[in-house]
Every structure is written in structure tokens, then in C-alpha cells.
Chains A and B, each alone.
Chain A
Amino acid sequence: MSSIHSTMTLASVTRPPTVDLVKSGLKRRYRAERRFRSYGMAAVIMSVLFLAFLFFSIVSKGYTAFQQTFIRLPIHFDPAEIDPTNPAAANYDGMIRQALLKRFPTVEGRNARRDLFALVSPGASFQLSAMARQDPSVIGRTVEVWLPANDDIDMLVKGQIDRDLPETERRLNNDQLEWVRSLQAENMIEKHFNRIFFTAGDSREPELAGIWGAAVGSFYTLLVTLVLSFPIGVAAAVYLQEFAPKNTWTDIIEVNINNLAAVPSIIFGLLGLAVFLNFFGLPRSTPLVGGLVLTLMTLPTIIIASRVALGAVPPSIREAALGVGASKTQVVLHHVLPLALPGVLTGAIIGMARALGETAPLLMIGMVAFIVDIPKGLTDPATALPVQIFLWADSPERGFVERTSAAIMVLLAFLIVMNATAIFLRRRFERRW
């Protein structure tokens, strides 16, 4: 008794009261608290800044692509040159050259004239040919047509070319700069909305290149993916979650499916190459094979999301249904599945969004060729939007840099819409048990 007493007296003499100990440490601890909190906030702000930086750089590089420079020229649809039964085959290049020469009559010499003709896009003649074919009344008249300018001129007008560089280091020489200046003075050269970008397929010339071919290819591919992966995925999830007996086999299956969801997408491309192209002999570079490969990739995601949604429905619902005499199938079809549907749909939409952005597996099955025509069906050769971005990113022409960024903007827009729909659905229809 006395020893304890003495220890206590000793303690209270040499050590200050606990309250003071705590008080002296408080400032330090509050500072640590504020630091920690600021680290957290900094982390969130940094992530958001990354996102903003990414968006800003892409948009700043790409927004100029939504406009295309056009040159207004009076084109004389010479009836002597055009055969009324086949208006598409006339020499429209010649007519464009004549119009240019009329505007700049002082240009002489083969080289100088070639530079003059290079102001207009090489594909402009096809625009005239289409005009003549659709409206034969233009034959014999002189019509003011807005023709797309060549990609170098386009870059010049958009301010991407440094006029101060010495002439040999530029792609446009001084004469060409002078001609453009004089055209600008007469309002014969203007920037219009770039419809070509949204309606044309791929092209070697940036001013004629568009994303419509890739968009249609992506659409068909996603269609195949959706039609195949959604029913199969949901059905598999229902079976595995509700009906399958719980033994080692189902455990192995669960582990396998979870792993498939994390397998790098390029492995699915290898599988597609080995099985679909080599073994089955399906045609290369088609949305059919692309869709099949992406189905394999999306199946695990849909299965896992559906299983989670089905598992979130409380057992009381199932038991109640069984209690009033429903069969197992009726419980699932009439009660569990409808309640789990929002979660299932969200999973499907997120799976589709992932499939839309995938590039690597499509590279392996050959959707990386140069394809100009818009695909009309599942077995026409096609490319997909992310693959088109990958291909354009390698092209040297400046015009493609801005178009790649614009294509990225379109892709991101689609993805944001899809993800927003998923989030909206989840928020609106989610039930809290």
C-alpha cells in the first residue's frame, strides 16, 4: 500500500498533469491534421487538374478542325468537255485550273503553275463531278463554287504555319503566300464548318479525311458486341448466381471469370487472331470479327456487374416469393431480375463504353488497314474510331494533328454521354435496401 502511495506521489511530482501533456501536444497534432487534410485535398485537386490539362490540350489542338478553308472560284462547266450521258467523267481538274489561271493570269512557267494549282485540294474535282451528276442543269453555266483548299493552305489560314521562316524551310513558297493574301483581300477564301470531317471516310489528304467511316465501323462492331454479350452475359450471371450449385467447380469458374475481366485486352486480340481468323477463316478487318473479339472482352465485365446487382437483392425478397409458392425460375424472372435490372443495365453500358475505347485487340485482327469506303454491313472491311485515331496520330501532315485531336473529342463526347447515362440510371433507379 505504502509503495504504491509513494510511487503515485513520485509521479505527481516529476510529471505534469495529463491535461497539460495533452494540451502541449495539441498544436502539433492539429497542425498534422491540417497537413494531412491538405494532402488529401491536393490529391483530389491534382487529379482534377490532370483531367483538365488533358481536355484542354486536346481541345486546343482540335477545335480548329471543325472548320475547313474553302476557296470560291467561278467554275465554267464547259459543255464541250462534259458528256451529258456521263457527266461524272469529264476533266474537272482542268476546269479548276482554268478558273485559277483566270484569277491569276500572270502566273507563267510549269513550276509556278503547279504551285498555283496546288492551292486547291486534289479532291475538289470529285465535288464538281458530283454536282454535275446530281444537277445536270449546271452544264453550260458558270457557277461560283466553294472548293476545299489544300491542307497546307488550310493550315496557313488557321495560322499554323510560321510565315517568318525562310522559304526553303516552309512547305509553301512566297508566291503561294502572296496569292492567298490576295484571295483573302477579296473574300474569296473563307473558313466554313467542316462538314467533310463528319461525312467522309479516311483519306490520304487531310482536307478530305473524315471520321464517318470509322464511326460506322465502330457502330457495327458495338452492335455485334451488344447483341452477343448482353444476353449471354446476363443469362450466365443469372445461372451462376441463382441456379448453380455451390461447389469447387463454380468457385473455379468464378475465379476464372474475375480474372478474365483483368486480362490485358491485347490477349483477346491474340485469341481473335488465332481462333477467328486462322481457325475459322472469317474475313479480316471486318466489324464481325471485331465485334466477336470485343464480346469476349466485355462478357466478364457484364457477368460480374450483373452478379453484383443480383446479389444486392436481399434474400428476404426471394424467400417471400418462395413462400407464396413461386418456383425458382419464377422468383428470378418475376422478382429478382426486375429489381436488379438497373445495376445490370449500368454494367452493360459501362462494358460498352470500355469496348468503344478499345484499340489493341482490333489492331491484332487487322482493322488497321487503309479503308476509304464507308462500310455497309458486318462483313465489309472497316476500321473503328480509336483505331482511326491511332492511325492518324502517325501521319506527318499537320492537318492530321488537328483532325486526330478533333476525332478524340468526338470519341470522348460519345463516352461521356454513355457514362453519364449509366450514372443517371444508377442514381435514378438504384434502390437502397
Chain B
Amino acid sequence: MMKKVAVVAGFLFLAASIGVVGAQTSRDYISIVGSSTVYPFATVVAEQFGKATKFKTPKIESTGSGGGFKLFCAGVGVEHPDITNASRAMKKTEFDTCQTNGVKEIVEVKIGYDGIVMANAKNAPEFNLTRKDIFLALAKQVPDPKGGETVVPNPYKTWKDVNSSLPNIKIEVLGPPPTSGTRDAFTELALEVGAEEFPWLKALNKSDNKKFKEIAHTVREDGAYVEAGENDNLIVQKLQTNTNALGVFGFSFLDQNTDKIKGAKIDGKVPTFENIASGAYPLSRPLFFYVKKAHVDVIPGIKDYLAEFSSEKAWGPDGYLAGKGMIPMPDDERKKYAAVVKNMTLLEMK
């Protein structure tokens, strides 16, 4: 009996030691996480980088901007990612988390612009939306339709209820979950601005910012807005089969699928490359990635990957990223961020 106990004990000890050994393995490839909007661009750069240099191709996971920041700010070390992609800027709270966990030196690089589109299937009715319509259709609480300065739970069921000029279709929007930067950008650029069309809400923003944010940012949960995960390609596919639904995602997905879906007009502007680049289309936001300076000289290839990403061949107006639907930055911004990459200028947030 004792012998058997000894054997079992020895075995478990052996098994536990494997864990000790396992934690010591080294990593010689770049680990990237983050936004699903930036994912198509980052993967193209990574593939080019891997083929053109002797470094291993970086491993890229699509976790959503928020999820990416969580993983990125968890600490410095081999088991944490080196770079995170984001479709919005890092927030102060995330910056603070990074600092607390030891990620003190962060380099922020803007890579280009992207539009947020609301698209539906090619053979579905056309939508001409204002941001006020979007707010009224998707917020959890809307101003009382009867008037006055109170909010009620959202009563609108069809787009026609919201605005009589819109088609008489049930409101069904497939959009990103809170981990997505697109969601944050959409809330800020569309819902907030739409809410401010109500003068009393605009005043509330100044007087009680927290309450205003609660009203403007909370999305309805009764099934009209469906959180469709980080996989924007899946949303495109679902739009084809469900002609009543609208999808919310980055412009690149519309650009790559013009034969299957079309974008809705927002405030009268069609989502096109030119409109977004010129700023005429209202829902446009910058794309970033963030690098841990501490990892740069230690994980092989980071400097070269950054150089590839910030080369004119990649992010320039004739570059291959523009071909994939990314709106390039104007010349002066490109120069600025190329210098940031070269000098590893650190991000500061007060």
C-alpha cells in the first residue's frame, strides 16, 4: 500500500514539475492581439513581413480592441503580447492599468483612418439615416415621444416608427460587443451626437455628464441590437441571408464586399473612400497599434515589423493597405508617425 502511495506521489510531483519547465520556454515570434477592424490590415503586413524577412511570421489574434488592451496591459514578459491593435485610442483608465502592471513605456502609432458603416444586403431597401435616427432606434432609453424632458424605455419597433421617411422594416442591427473599439467609436460618433440633437440632452451633457453618458451610450437589449461578436466577416455573411438586418462594422469590410452589401447614407453622405478621407462622411475614426518598448529589442523582429508597417509601400496612398480598404493618413501625419516609429517616442497621458 505504501509503495502505491509513493508511486502516485512521485507521479504527481513529476507532473507538477512539467509546469515549472513549461513556463521557461522562450518565444521567438511576435505576439499581436487586438482589434478585429485592424486585423485584416495587420495580417497582410505580417504576411509580407514574414515572407520578405528571415523572421517568423507574427501570430495575430482577433480579440477586440478592449480585450486586446486588457491582455496588453497585463504586464511585461514573454507570456504577454508585444503589440495590440486598436480601432480607437487608448483610454486613460487603460493607460493607468498598464502603468500599474509595469507596462510603463508604450509607443502609440496611428496607421490610418477607417469609416464605420451601417450596411445591408445589396437587394435590401436603401437607408438614408441621420445620427438622430440611429440614437432613437438603438438606445435603451429615448426621450419620451410625447415630448418633455424625460426618458422612457425605447418603444420603437420599426425604422418607420423612428422616422416616417425610413422603410417599414423591423429594427434589427448586428453590431460589435463592448470589447470592440468599433463599438466605442460608434457610441461616441453616432449615438452621442444623435442624442445631442435634443437640446435638453445637450444641456444635460454639460451639467451631469455621467447621466448623459448613461442615456446616450446604453444600447437596447430587447433583441433589436444583436451583439454579433468580433467576427465582422460573419456579420457580412449574415446580412446576405437576412435582408432586414443592418450591420455595423469598419469600411474595409464594405469595400471588400461591394458585390454583396451596400452602405447606408449617414447624414446624407455615402460611405466612400473619398468621403471618408475628406472627412465629409461623419463616422470616421483613426486606427492605431501600441507597442511595448520593453519588448522591442528582446523579441526578434519587432523593429522590422514596425518598419514594414510604417513604410510607404504599406500605409501610403498607393500602398497595399489602401487596396484592402484602409484610408491612408495625409502626408504630414504619415511623416510624423514614421518618425515616432523610428525614435520610439513614448506615449504620455496626463
Residues of A participating in the B interface, judged by any CB pair closer than 8 Å: 110, 114, 122-123, 126, 165, 168-171, 203-204, 279-283, 285, 366, 368-373, 379, 381, 394-397
Contacts and interface: CB of A to CB of B under 8 A. Distances in A.
A171 B258 contact: yes
A395 B44 CA distance: 14
A285 B25 CA distance: 14
For the complex of A and B, the 3 pairs showing the least CB-CB separation, nearest first, are A280-B19, A281-B23, A372-B57
Contact of B234 (A110, A203, A394): A394
B160 interface: no
Contact of A204 (B18, B23, B43, B122): B43
Contacts of A366: 61
B227 interface: no
A397 B44 CA distance: 14
Contacts, number: 72
B193 interface: no
Contact of B60 (A122, A123, A279, A370): A370
A370 B43 contact: yes
B236 interface: yes
B22 interface: yes
B258 A169 contact: yes
Given A366-B61, A394-B231, A397-B256, 19 more contacts: A110-B318, A126-B51, A204-B40, A204-B44, A204-B47, A281-B23, A281-B79, A282-B19, A285-B59, A370-B39, A372-B46, A372-B47, A372-B57, A379-B25, A381-B29, A394-B233, A394-B234, A395-B233, A396-B257
A285 B257 CA distance: 30
Nearest to A168: B258
18 contacts: A110-B318, A126-B51, A165-B259, A168-B258, A171-B258, A204-B40, A280-B18, A280-B19, A281-B79, A282-B19, A283-B22, A370-B60, A372-B47, A372-B57, A373-B56, A379-B25, A394-B234, A396-B236
B60 A203 contact: no
A285 to B, nearest CB: 7
Contact of A396 (B51, B56, B233, B318): B233
B59 A370 contact: yes
Nearest to B236: A396
Nearest to B320: A122
B27 interface: yes
Of B22, B47, B79, B320, the most chain A CB neighbours within 10 A belong to B47
A381 B32 CA distance: 13
Contact of A381 (B23, B47, B59, B318): B59
A373 B259 contact: no
Q: Which one of B40, B61, B253, B318 has the greatest number of beta carbons of chain A within 10 Å?
A: B61
A280 B15 CA distance: 10
A279 B25 CA distance: 15
A279 B50 CA distance: 32
Q: Interface size bucket, B side?
A: 35 or more
A373 B23 contact: no
A277 B19 CA distance: 10
Contacts of A369: 59-61
A396 B40 CA distance: 12
Contacts of B44: 204
Interface in B30-72: 39-40, 43-44, 46-47, 50-52, 56-57, 59-61
B165 interface: no
B237 interface: yes
A87 B258 CA distance: 39
B259 A170 contact: yes
Contacts of A373: 29, 50, 56-57
A165 B79 CA distance: 51
A281 B233 contact: no
A204 B320 CA distance: 12
Contacts of A171: 258-259
Interface string B257-270: 11110000000000
Nearest to B33: A369
B50 A372 contact: yes
Contacts of A110: 318
A114 B323 CA distance: 10
A416 B22 CA distance: 36
A279 B39 CA distance: 29
B27 A283 contact: yes
A376 B306 CA distance: 25
A282 B15 CA distance: 13
Contacts of B59: 285, 369-371, 381
Given A122-B320, A396-B233, A368 B23 contact: no
Nearest to A288: B22
A114 B322 CA distance: 12
Contact of A281 (B22, B47, B122, B234): B22
Nearest to A289: B22
A208 to B, nearest CB: 8
B19 A123 contact: no
A204 B253 CA distance: 14
Nearest to A372: B57
A245 to B, nearest CB: 13
A280 B57 contact: no
A204 B59 CA distance: 13
Contacts of A114: 318
A371 B43 contact: no
A282 B51 CA distance: 28
B38 to A, nearest CB: 12
Nearest to B57: A372
B257 to A, nearest CB: 5
B60 A280 contact: no
Contacts of B25: 283, 379
Residue of A282, A370, A395 contacting most chain B CB atoms (<10 Å): A370
Interface string B215-246: 00000000000000001011011000000000
Nearest to A373: B57
Contacts of B19: 279-282
Nearest to A280: B19
A369 B51 CA distance: 18
A366 B19 CA distance: 18
A369 B230 CA distance: 13
A285 B57 CA distance: 14
Contacts of B27: 283
Contacts of B231: 394
Contacts of B320: 122
A214 to B, nearest CB: 14
A147 to B, nearest CB: 15
Contacts of A285: 59
A127 to B, nearest CB: 10
